[in-house]
Structure 1
Amino acid sequence: MEIFGYVASIFIGISLGLIGGGGSILTVPVLVYLFGIDAFLATEYSLFIVGVSSLVGSFSYFKKGLVDFKTAFIFGVPSIVSIFLTRNFLLPLIPDEVFRIGNFIVTKDIFLLLLFAGLMITASYKMIQKSVVLKSETINSEKNNTLLAAGEGSVVGILTSLVGAGGGFMIIPALVNLLKTPMKVAIGTSLVIISLNSLIGFFSSMNHVKIEWNLLSTITAIAIVGIIIGSQLSKKIDGKKLKPAFGWFILVMGIYIIIKELFF
C-alpha cells in the first residue's frame, strides 16, 4: 500500500499548488489508510508535510508580490496561539477511550478520524458550491471585519491542531470577504498562514511523539514535487473549475472514513 501512498503524496502537493488549498485535507487519510500510521501520529506528520509544502508553494506568490504580511499577521497570530494551546494542553486531555456505546468503543484515534471526516464534508460543501461568489463588499465595519477574521483565525488554529489540516478552505474566504484581500493575494497569503500554523504546531508538540524522519522527509519531498507541478499547471488550468470535482472526491472520502470507522 505504501507505493499508493507515495503516489497520493504527489496529488496532495498538486492540489495545493493548483487550487491554493484543500490538498492538506488528503494528508491524514493517506497517512492512516495507505501508510498504516495511527491517527494521532498522522496529525503530527501532516502538520510537517503541509507546512513545508505550503512554504515552498508560497515562494512563487511572494516573488510576484502576492503575499500580504499585514493580513497574515492579523489572521495568523490568533491562529498560532490556538495551535500552541490546543497541541500542548487540549489534545493531551483527550482520553484513549473517549466514550463507549454498548460494545463499541470510540477510541482517541477513531474520534480524531471522525472529527477529520466531518471537516472533510464541510470542506467539500464549500468547494462544490458554485452559486457562492466571494465578494469584497461587506456591511460590517472594517474594525468588526478584523475582529471576525482574528476569531476565524483562532478557529482555524484549533482545527489545524486537532486534525492536522491547513484550513485553506476557511482561510481564503475569510481573507477575501472580511479583509477585502484580492483573490490571488488571498491564495498566496493563505499558503504563508498555513505554513506558519502547521510548522509551529508540529515543532511545539513533536517531543510528544516518536518521529520516523526517513518516512516523513520522503513523503514531504514527494509532496513538494507535487506542489511545484501544481504551481506550473495553475498557469494553464483554472483551479476554480477543478474545485467542485475535487470537492466531490473529498465528500466521498469523508463518508468513507465515517463508514469504515463506525461499521468495519
Structure 2
Amino acid sequence: MSELILALIAGGVVGLALGALGGGGSVLAVPALIYLLDFTPAAATTASLLIVIATSLTALYAHARAGNVRWRTGALFASAGLLPAAAAGAAAGRLPQPLLTGAFAAVAAVAALRMLRPVRTADAPRNARPARATGVGAGLGALTGLLGVGGGFLAVPALVTVLAFEMQAAIGTSLLVISANSLASLATRGATTAGVDWAVIGPFTGAAILGAWDGKRLTTRVSGALLQRAFAIVLLAVAAFMLADALT
C-alpha cells in the first residue's frame, strides 16, 4: 500500500477521534507515523504537532459554533501549560529514540485506561480548584511538548473533575488547550521540522481535518461511551506493540 493511501487512512482516523472525543487522536498519530510511514520518533512527534494544530483548530471551530467552548477559562487553563510545553519541546530532540518510544507507549496506555473509565459530570466537585487546575495545565503542556500529543485525553477529564465543566463544554474547551500547547511546543522545534516529509504530512493533515468534521457529527449518532471504549481497546494494543518495540 502506498504512503499516500496510508497517510490518508491514518489521518482520517486521527481526525475522527479528535472531533468525536476532544482528544486521543494525536496518541495514534505518532505510532502511525513511525510504524506505517517510517518516521523517526523525533520527527514523528514534531509532525504530530503540526497535524494536531491543524486538526484541533478545525474541531475547535466546529465546537465553538455549537457553543461548547468556554474561552476565558480555557485560555487560563492553557496559559499554565505554555512554558512547560516550550521547554519540553526544546528538550525532546536530545532524548534517545527508544526512551521517547517507551515514554509514548506508557502515555498511550494511561490514555486508554482513562478512556475505559470515562468521567461522569455528576462526579465533578461543586467548587473548582484553581491551584490544581494550574498544575494540571502545566503537566499537560509538558506532555505535549515532550511527546507531541495534544493531551486531550487528560484535559477533558481534568476540565470535568477540576473545573466542573459539562462534558460537551469540556470537549470543546480541551481543543483550545490542545491548540495552544501544541503551538508553544512547535515554536521550539525549528530544527526538527526540517526533517518532516511534507508530501506525507500534507495529505495526512487534510484527511485529519475532514475526519474531525465527521467526528463532530458522529457524536450525535453514536454513544460517546461506546466510542471511547472502542478507541481505548485499539490504543491499548498500540501501546503494547510500542512498548515491546522499545524493549527489544
Range of TM-score over shorter length: over 0.9
TM-score scaled by structure 2? 0.92
State the shift of 1:92 in Å: 4.7
Mapped contact 1:52–1:199 kept (Cα < 8 A):
no
1:94-142 CA-to-partner distances (Å, cap 9, x unmatched) read 3xxxxxxxxxxxxx11110100000011011111126x53446437x64
Unaligned runs of 5+ in 2: none
State the shift of 1:208 in Å: 4.1
Mapped contact 2:93–2:192 kept (Cα < 8 A):
no
* Residue number in structure 2 paired with 1:13: 15
Q: Distance in 1 between matches of 2:103 and 2:72?
A: 31
Q: Distance in 2 between matches of 1:8 and 1:93?
A: 27
Counterpart mapping for 1:89-128 below 5 A: 90-94=91-95, 108-128=96-116
State the percentage of identical aligned residues. 32
State the shift of 1:54 in Å: 0.7
* Residue number in structure 2 paired with 1:151: 135
Greater shift after overlay, 43-52 or 64-73? 64-73
Mapped contact 1:28–1:43 kept (Cα < 8 A):
yes
Q: Which amino acid aligns with 2:47?
A: Y
> Which of 150, 175, 182 does residue 159 from structure 2 map onto?
175
Larger Rg computed on CA atoms? 1
Counterpart mapping for 1:186-197 below 5 A: 186-197=170-181
Residue aligned with 1:29, SS:
helix
* Residue number in structure 2 paired with 1:99: none
Q: Give me the CA root mean square deviation.
A: 1.8
Unaligned runs of 5+ in 1: 95-107
Q: Which amino acid aligns with 1:218?
A: P
After superposition, the Cα gap between the structure-2 partners of 1:28 and 1:208, relative to the gap in structure 1 and judged at 3 Å, is closer
TM-score scaled by structure 1? 0.87
Mapped contact 1:66–1:185 kept (Cα < 8 A):
yes
**How many pairs does the alignment contain?**
245
* Residue number in structure 1 paired with 2:117: 129
